[in-house]
Amino acid sequence: MTDPYTPQIIEPKWQQQWEATKLYRQIIDRNKPKHYALTMLPYPSGDLHIGHWYAMTPSDARARFMRMKGYNVLFPMGFDAFGLPAENAAIARNIHPSKWTFANIERMRQQLRSMGAMFDWEREAVSADPEYYRWTQWFFKKLMELGLAYRKLAAVDFCPRCNTTLAREQVWGEDRHCERCGTPVIKKELEQWFFKTTDYAEELLDFSQINWPERVKVMQTNWIGRSEGAEVIFLTEQGDEIPIFTTRPDTLWGATFMVLAPEHPLVEKVTTPEQKEAVEAYHAAAQKLTDIDREAADREKTGVFTGGYAINPVNGERIPIWVADYVLMGYGFGAIMAVPAHDERDFAFATRFDLPIAEVIRMPGRAESDGPLAKAYTSKSEGQLVNSGPFTGTPTEGAAARVTDWLAETGKGKKAVNYRLRDWLISRQRYWGAPIPVVYCPEHGAVAVPDDQLPILLPEDVAFMPTGESPLKQHELFQQTTCPVCGRDARRETDTMDTFMCSSWYQYRYLSPHYDQGPFDPEEGAYWLPVDQYTGGIEHATMHLIYTRFFTKAMREMGLVHFSEPMLALFNQGMVLGEDGEKMSKSRGNVVAPDNLVEKYGADTVRTYLMFFARWEQGGPWNYDGIKGPQRLIQDVWQLALADYQPGMMDAAATRNLRRKTHQTIRKVTQDLEGFAFNTAVAAIMEQRNAIQEALKQRQVMVEAWREAVDSLLLLLAPIAPHITEELWARRGGRYSIHQQPWPVWDEETAKEEAITVVVQVNGKVRDRFEMAADTGEEGIKAAALASEKVQAWFEGKSPRKVIVVKGQLVNIVV
């Protein structure tokens, strides 16, 4: 009798052993191909939840698999340790954010160890550590030097609950809420720091160097929002230029008015004295509106006439200039030509304010005599141009390009490209983040702090306001400083940086978390970079995953790296939901606690279940009954690996069958782990388990085949369930460690089926099936199918008209 399986004993035992022998120390080895596997780093919220397990243990299994396949694998872990929850805890419970954060990190390190992952803890990086954020600040300065960081006054998104500004990417949904807390944002006019992500808009659209999910690429492409069109310059009657962007230059002749955003710099100049009061009142009212009100598409259009006029450059017509908030200052030039006949928004506006509608694209089947348009005609391919000067009669298809060429020739405009992407706003009015390394001198303005003064440390002696206002704003000593240029009194910037800035470059810091000559040791970088396989949730598609791409491109300009993409391949896992199929949350009471599960079943069973219960990219609801399958598997593996196998009546066919199954399983599991199909990999291992159980019962296979089957079962399971396989490997006399063994290889010949089941269909319906030798030729299969009595019974006296033979599988007889 074997001793029972007790994960509570063997798991901690091996975790200690692995640590003591530095089994997972990952160092440069130029004799092996490298593989940098990375999983998104957690925020130290206090407890490791099942979602962390779901993200990390399959990534770990994949990294372990690559290691056994012969790669030198780097698989690091760290903490994205700056951020609001720490500060909110400070406010609510009077604990310093630093204390709270580092205590949580300590706790989570222990919990992470219970997963049995192959993290190299000597490479751990913590973004709230001064030796980390020193380099976050250094990067800010570098971006300033490159002209990629700038400060400007702008109406920006502000979360009233978090009490801070947000980047455009961090405002979500129809109601434009804060990505963190769900509160709808408001607009505030503030001086803020931005990174010029828009400089890289075009390059960010190029995914040719990376193997990323289509979904993420589509989301980023939409987010960047490239549109092609033309830039056209309109002149006011006073002669001021108003450039506009349009995607429909072919409708220029239909521009019957212009609209400026309320914040447009020319508004004041074009407004006539009679209209001044109305325009100013409108601007003031627009500023008070929240974005939700202002940007709601179904809201009735509002606006006021400025009293001023512009000249349409293509036909010389005098057209009124209006101000309306449906034109946004942040896109294009903050001014548009309005073509009501061919744009739904302009049509709605013109109808509301009784402005002229000039039809310049004639819909097929429509005649001049049909009267005014009932709605805007917006087709870009059907119809032809009318009342359009030299272009009258041109088909709509291709007209935009022709008009653009003509605009360029005649100097009225030119081809232009516009992006929806905005620059990244990185200033945060909160304490627990990396301070922006800038001082403000009355003489020299915003000046970067010299490198030798980095890091700008967060002061420890701070009092937190219940409002969430940053204590740095009240901290006289922190703010008092001198100008690095002239030495006179200056004030320190009190805003800190967006934590997405910290996580934009963490994959580089992992290489050498204590290196003090730069953000990372170039020698480590030359070997390990870039990241080969990244895994994480889809929720970062347009935030972190855009920022880190931008960062790497900027690092290329800094000469720090020679490549342009941080992560060559990406895989998005899904989410584990509560048993009720809803997102887990404390308020719903559907949270699954991994610590309890590990206590009850052991980490190996939890890992196996997480990989088995659903397709990884899909995720799904947790099910406490479902875990029994993997639990039985783990227990059966224990029994089988320790079983005393004594063959009885030997049978060559039984031996061949087991060996075939073994090699087929190796092939299947290898291919599945390659492709992140953990669920079917586990299913294949279960099938192998079933075959071995059967062999044990029958006692007909040779000892060598038995051993091969059990050994490969352990090896295939090792990445998924690292502890039990290590224990059993050792008990069976294997060399330490199983995780350093080469991945098993299959023999195609042994894996080959000896017999095939031939399915015979008559008119597409299955009527018979029988076994044949796998090497039977097409003719032989056909003859056997036609000879079948069961099949012939369906001919109903008719003779076969056509016989289709699919080799090794099926015969379809048409009568």
Binding RNA (rule: CB under 7 A), the pick from 34, 151, 380, 769 is: 769
- Nearest distance from C-beta of residue 806 to RNA, angstroms: 4
**Residue 715 in contact with residue 68, Cβ under 8 Å?**
yes
Q: Are strands 257-260 and 802-806 parallel, antiparallel or unpaired?
A: unpaired
Nearer to RNA, 402 or 769 (CB): 769
Nearer to RNA, 542 or 655 (CB): 542
CA 38 from chain center: how many Å?
A: 13
Query: Looking at 34-42, 369-377, 559-567, 762-770, which segment touches RNA (CB under 7 A)?
Result: 762-770
686 binds RNA (CB under 7 A): yes
- Nearest distance from C-beta of residue 264 to RNA, angstroms: 9
Binding RNA (rule: CB under 7 A), the pick from 682, 701, 785, 791 is: 682
Residues in 565-624 that interact with RNA by CB under 7 A = 612-615, 618, 620-621, 623
Contacts of 374 (CB under 8 A, 6+ apart): none
**Residue 721 in contact with residue 772, Cβ under 8 Å?**
no
CA–CA dist 89, 117 (Å, integer): 30
Residues in 515-554 that interact with RNA by CB under 7 A = 538, 542
222 binds RNA (CB under 7 A): yes
Whether the upstream peptide bond of residue 737 has omega within 30° of 0, thus cis, is yes
CA–CA dist 152, 445 (Å, integer): 13
- Nearest distance from C-beta of residue 302 to RNA, angstroms: 7
For 438, the token pair is 């800038």
- Nearest distance from C-beta of residue 452 to RNA, angstroms: 41
Residues in 137-166 that interact with RNA by CB under 7 A = none
Coarse DSSP helix, strand, coil percentages of the chain, rounded to the nearest 5 percent: 40, 20, 40
405 binds RNA (CB under 7 A): no
The single residue listed with the structure tokens 């310059």 is 233
Size of the site for RNA (CB under 7 A): 86
- Nearest distance from C-beta of residue 700 to RNA, angstroms: 16
Residues in 292-331 that interact with RNA by CB under 7 A = 294-297, 299, 301-302, 325-331
Q: Are strands 171-172 and 177-178 parallel, antiparallel or unpaired?
A: antiparallel
Name the CA dihedral angle for 767, 772, 778, 784, rounded to a multiple of 10 degrees: -50
Ramachandran region, residue 699 (left: φ > 0; alpha: ψ -120 to 50; beta: rest): left
Query: Looking at 118-126, 365-373, 505-513, 682-690, which segment touches RNA (CB under 7 A)?
Result: 682-690
For 763, the token pair is 């008119």
Binding RNA (rule: CB under 7 A), the pick from 394, 590, 680, 698 is: 680
CA–CA dist 22, 411 (Å, integer): 70
Binding RNA (rule: CB under 7 A), the pick from 77, 584, 677, 696 is: 677
Three-state SS annotation for 6-21 = CHHHHHHHHHHHHHHC
Binding RNA (rule: CB under 7 A), the pick from 17, 636, 643, 667 is: 636
172 binds RNA (CB under 7 A): yes
CA–CA dist 171, 187 (Å, integer): 12
- Nearest distance from C-beta of residue 343 to RNA, angstroms: 6
Binding RNA (rule: CB under 7 A), the pick from 27, 146, 653, 766 is: 766
CA–CA dist 32, 746 (Å, integer): 22
Residues in 409-428 that interact with RNA by CB under 7 A = 418, 420
205 binds RNA (CB under 7 A): no
For 495, the token pair is 């805003």
Three-state SS annotation for 147-209 = CCEEEEEEEEEEECCCCEECCHHHEECCCCEECCCCCECEEEEEEEEEECHHHHHHHHCCCCC
Ramachandran region, residue 259 (left: φ > 0; alpha: ψ -120 to 50; beta: rest): beta
Nearer to RNA, 650 or 766 (CB): 766
- Nearest distance from C-beta of residue 178 to RNA, angstroms: 13
651 binds RNA (CB under 7 A): no
**Residue 28 in contact with residue 527, Cβ under 8 Å?**
yes
Query: Looking at 150-158, 240-248, 389-397, 490-498, which segment touches RNA (CB under 7 A)?
Result: 240-248
393 binds RNA (CB under 7 A): no
Query: Looking at 30-38, 172-180, 234-242, 493-501, which segment touches RNA (CB under 7 A)?
Result: 172-180
DSSP 770: E
- Nearest distance from C-beta of residue 357 to RNA, angstroms: 15
CA–CA dist 652, 658 (Å, integer): 10
670 binds RNA (CB under 7 A): no
**Residue 348 in contact with residue 378, Cβ under 8 Å?**
no
- Nearest distance from C-beta of residue 120 to RNA, angstroms: 31
Query: Looking at 192-200, 244-252, 311-319, 476-484, which segment touches RNA (CB under 7 A)?
Result: 244-252
CA–CA dist 484, 441 (Å, integer): 9
Residues in 260-299 that interact with RNA by CB under 7 A = 261, 294-297, 299
- Nearest distance from C-beta of residue 686 to RNA, angstroms: 4
- Nearest distance from C-beta of residue 566 to RNA, angstroms: 21
Nearer to RNA, 119 or 500 (CB): 500
Residues in 43-82 that interact with RNA by CB under 7 A = none
Q: Are strands 226-236 and 304-311 parallel, antiparallel or unpaired?
A: antiparallel
690 binds RNA (CB under 7 A): yes
Binding RNA (rule: CB under 7 A), the pick from 9, 417, 526, 804 is: 804
Query: Looking at 333-341, 375-383, 432-440, 555-563, which segment touches RNA (CB under 7 A)?
Result: 333-341
225 binds RNA (CB under 7 A): yes
How far CA 260 is from CA of 267, 283, 336, 412, 419, in Å, comes to: 7, 11, 7, 20, 19
Nearer to RNA, 413 or 433 (CB): 413
Contacts of 419 (CB under 8 A, 6+ apart): 198, 201, 224, 225, 226, 227
Binding RNA (rule: CB under 7 A), the pick from 764, 779, 796, 798 is: 764
Nearer to RNA, 120 or 263 (CB): 263
- Nearest distance from C-beta of residue 575 to RNA, angstroms: 10
760 binds RNA (CB under 7 A): no
DSSP for 328-384, written as a single string: -TTSTTSEEEE-GGG-HHHHHHHHHHT------EEPTT--GGG-S-SS----SSSSE
Nearer to RNA, 411 or 764 (CB): 764
Residue type, 37: A
